Amino acid sequence: MSVGQPPQTITYLAGWSRSEKCDCSVDDVTCIQQMMGNDIDIHTCWKGVWAVELGLALSYLLTLGSAGMVMGLLMIPAKWQSPGAPQPPPGYLDFDVWIDQKSEGTYRAKAWSGAGFEGTGTFALPPGLANGALRLAGSGSLRGGPAAGGAAADSLEQAGDELFRTVFHGELLKAFQGCLAKARSGPGLRIRLRLNDVPQLADLPWEYLYDAEGQGFLALSARTPVVRYLELSEGLNTLLDEPPLRVLAVISTPRGYRELAEADEEWRRLGTALEPLRSGDLIEIERLERPTFEALEARLRGGPPVHVLHFVGHGGFSELRGEGVLVFEDGNGNGLPVGGPSLAYLLQDHPSLRLAVLNACNGARASREDTFAGTAQALVQHGVPAVIAMQSEVMDETACGFAEKFYRGLASGLPVDACVGEVRRALAAERNPEWGTPALYLRATDGRLFAVESGGQTN
């Protein structure tokens, strides 16, 4: 259909009705572009249809009254709505970047997307990335680099730019730019990093990827979230159809370890952030009375299903054991390091779990030989659809602020990846260079925890 022949449809303003001549299942912006020509800008589309559609749309909404207008603005079922909850974005267009090792010191990157853009390239790490100088070291800093202030921000920008230019060049860069242009008419482009085959590259500053010629820091834009995707053979059902969403908080402050000054404050902020949903019986938050591994096992076995596990405490990576650990308390209040695999084996028997948030230092750190040696990665391997963990040491205040901002987004109905993006932007606005320290690991194909209805159907 040409631009001069707008479709005779009832067009809506917020994603509600559909062309009477269209039975496709794509999003509405794409639908309009397909009917009017894929190569035209969406603003041109609207110019072409607006005059014809305005009268029809207004008369239709007036016929339905205020109830119909509300239906046109909301996509989350009423049972999930919290006061002032924004409409969550539709699914992102995915841009997958898979990396493997071609030879000693040489890597191959292959990118593809559902939009038909593909590209392949090879690269070798420049000295700063290869020798570890530009790998995450903690407190928003790089090993060997400054730790705070504007100098830290500059070093992160330089490292992110160097990493981006190293991997995104030639065919792969063209595929990325083409896919990004395609996604401009939709909610955005999710960059999914597939690093299963190259654990030695996992501690590069991927969350700080910096496109100097266009997007800036990719992970700071709501339109270009960066996630670490761990593809495994078994499919997962991640959507929760019926409330309440149950959050179990494990706050471990054992004797003999550095005091976590913000632990109790984090618990308070969690309650405050989730209050809009708690008051409507849409979410329940519970603190494990005794933060021991045995108490966690008993609670998971004997209580209502848990959907989100939130751990606050100490973590690390044991070189001796070759695995990530979280420090629970023992029966006497002393510290008890629990290996990631042990926790993973416990959680895999509870398929209700949708998300684990590990607010502990180094919860995402793994060995350079085994992708799944880290705590976060082990949980994903054993069936947890999404895990958020810290890649290095992090300041207590940052960890506490992360939790509050993240759960505010979750309470608003946003997908997990969008929630993490909200936190990153908030921390960056405060000039906190640790905004890239949290890493999101996904096994699920998208980051939604809630079943979202569109046109009266559950997706």
Domains and CATH numbers, the chain: 1-73 (no CATH), 93-224 (no CATH), 245-458 (3.40.50.1460)
Predicted pLDDT of residue 239: 64
**If we measure between CA atoms, which residue out of 434, 411, 408, 432 comes closest to residue 422?**
408
Predicted pLDDT of residue 162: 94
Q: What is the DSSP string of 1-41?
A: --TTS-------SSS----TT----S-HHHHHHHHH-TTS-
* Contact criterion met (CB below 8 Å) for 425 and 213: no
What is the Cα–Cα distance from 266 to 271, expressed in whole angstroms?
Answer: 9
The 10s digit of each residue's pLDDT in 121-153 is: 999 999 878 766 555 544 444 333 334 444 456
* Contact criterion met (CB below 8 Å) for 78 and 174: no
What is the Cα–Cα distance from 135 to 126, expressed in whole angstroms?
Answer: 12
* Contact criterion met (CB below 8 Å) for 437 and 344: no
* Contact criterion met (CB below 8 Å) for 269 and 310: no
Predicted pLDDT of residue 123: 97
What is the Cα–Cα distance from 186 to 192, expressed in whole angstroms?
Answer: 17
Predicted pLDDT of residue 237: 60
For β-strands 216-217 and 210-211, DSSP reports them as antiparallel
Predicted pLDDT of residue 266: 78
Q: Could you report how far apart the first and last alpha carbons of the chain are, in Å? A: 30
Predicted pLDDT of residue 35: 38
* Contact criterion met (CB below 8 Å) for 35 and 42: no
Residue 364 token pair: 């995402």
Given a cut of 50, the residues of the chain with pLDDT beneath it are 1-89, 137-151, 452-459
Predicted pLDDT of residue 373: 81
Predicted pLDDT of residue 241: 61
Predicted pLDDT of residue 151: 44
What is the Cα–Cα distance from 20 to 10, expressed in whole angstroms?
Answer: 8
**Cα 223 to Cα 3, 90, 93, 182, distances in angstroms:** 28, 11, 10, 12
Residue 228 CB coordination number (10 Å): 24
**If we measure between CA atoms, which residue out of 261, 239, 285 comes closest to residue 386?**
239
E strand or H helix that includes residue 356 = strand 355-359
- H-state helical runs in 65-138: 66-73, 127-130
| pTM over cut 0.85 | no
Residue 24 token pair: 């496709």
What is the Cα–Cα distance from 169 to 174, expressed in whole angstroms?
Answer: 8
**Cα 412 to Cα 53, 88, 157, 286, 419, distances in angstroms:** 32, 8, 31, 19, 9
* Cα 356-357-361 angle, rounded to 5 deg: 130
* Cα 89-31-454 angle, rounded to 5 deg: 45
What is the Cα–Cα distance from 377 to 341, expressed in whole angstroms?
Answer: 9
What is the Cα–Cα distance from 222 to 306, expressed in whole angstroms?
Answer: 29
* Contact criterion met (CB below 8 Å) for 28 and 19: no
